[in-house]
Amino acid sequence: MQQRSTFSYFQSISIGIAIFTMFFGAGNLVSPIIIGTSSGTHMFAGLVGFLVTAVCLPLVGLIAMILFDGNYDAFFERLGGQHAKNIAIFIAMLIIGPVIAIPRIVTLSHVMMAPFLPWSFLQSINIWSSAVFAGIFLGITYLATYKETGIITLLGVIIGPIKVASLLFIIIKGCYQISLIPFFSTMQFGGFTAFKQGLIEGFGTLDLLGAIFFSAMIIHLLRQRKDQHLSRAQMTILGFQASFIGAALLAFFYTGLTLLGFLYGQGLDLKSGELFREIAFKVMGTSGAIVIALAVVMACLSTSIALTAVFAEYLQQILPVRLSFGKALALGILLCVPLSCFGLDHVRSIAGGPIILIGYPVLIVLTFCNIAYKWFGFRLVRIPVLVTFIIMVLNYLR
């Protein structure tokens, strides 16, 4: 009995780290540092706003999908039948797949990894470095994702701990040596404005969307594993435990990175993708480049693995020709190549439009309505979603 309890506890931690690893991508390194750098003495207000939308909302999404037993078809079907469900899932998959999320990871990774790339070699053969980097990065993603049943182990036991250790080392070293650097801070704007900026930065992570499909994939993969003999109740408990562990890790590292932005980012006028890189170099020095590179690579690769796996599973379901997971994965990655070569600014301009400002609030309302349906029998969903959609469209047009 004791062995079973210990095994279950280890599983909760491992899956919790996997959840954290899936969410904590390249953009999640940058956003809290932006909050710390720009909020000045109102850093705490900005951090609270960011935690609401970047931690609490994904946690709500994880809980919702656990209540729906990992079935995102049933989750979206409450919008009004098959057609509404299929359209919603199709749009969501485009967002987390080839249109926004994966190209954003690749392009942001390219900016952050620039000091570690062989630029002179790339220039000598006259190849567009963005395209070369995208090809290499997506190729590694394919190799790491090819064995689908090993994804949770890869993320929770290998990539996750490396990422946690490298980030923890940078944060601890940064806080330890703060007395050694000239300290100053600026107050860029008021507390409410900082809080609002934090909310918007958290919205931009799109992690509620990720939560819905990541949790569905995790539950699906756990059921496929032959060493798992968990009842539905045990699976639910394991899911809740792992979700809270993942959320706690997100909150901890967001707080640490926001603090680093506040302490080391004052006066830096850099593009978002360069902020973590330059602050990390300030903390670690050039001798710590390997730690910085590990943090960046693990952050970039982990979310890319999770998203491509989700998108490949979707392609398996909708394509008229039956494809193996490996072939669907290859097709999904190929679809991500074009936008991955256009650069970070182009991808960010796509992500910052109506998709976030209209679609994301609609998803939030749907998620809360679905939780209320499961817990309290609250059946109303189409009217709140439609009202939210109209309000957001009018607000966007205005």
Does 1 have pLDDT greater than 80? no
pLDDT digit string, tens, across residues 328-354: 999 999 998 888 877 655 666 665 567
- Express each pLDDT in 137-176 by its tens digit: 999 999 999 887 778 788 888 888 888 898 999 899 888 7
Q: Look at residue 386 in the predicted model and tell me its pLDDT.
A: 92
With a cut of 70, say whether residue 183 has pLDDT above it.
no
Direct distance between the N- and C-terminal alpha carbons of the chain, in angstroms, rounded to an integer: 62
What confidence tens digit (pLDDT) does each residue in 203-246 have?
878 888 888 888 888 877 777 655 556 667 777 788 888 889 99
Alpha helices in 78-150 (DSSP H): 82-94, 101-113, 119-124, 129-145
Considering only residues 14 and 272, tell me which one the structure prediction assigns the higher pLDDT: 14
Asked whether residue 88 carries a pLDDT value surpassing 80, the answer given is: yes
- DSSP letter (8 states) at residue 378: -
Average confidence (pLDDT) over 79-93: 86
Single-letter residue type at 98: P
Q: What is the pLDDT of residue 72?
A: 87
pLDDT at 4 over 70: no
What is the 3-state secondary structure of 279-340?
Answer: HHHHHHCHHHHHHHHHHHHHHHHHHHHHHHHHHHHHHHHHCCCCCCHHHHHHHHHHHHHHHH
- Give the pLDDT score at 229: 64
Q: What value does the mean pLDDT of the chain take?
A: 82
- At position 284, the amino acid (one-letter code) is M
pLDDT at res. 188: 55
> How large is the average pLDDT for residues 247-271?
85
* Predicted local distance difference test score (pLDDT) of residue 227: 52
Q: What is the mean pLDDT of residues 116-130?
A: 56
Q: Distance between CA 218 and CA 243 in Å, rounded?
A: 11
Q: Are 348 and 103 in contact (CB under 8 A)?
A: no
For the entire predicted model, the pTM comes to 0.85
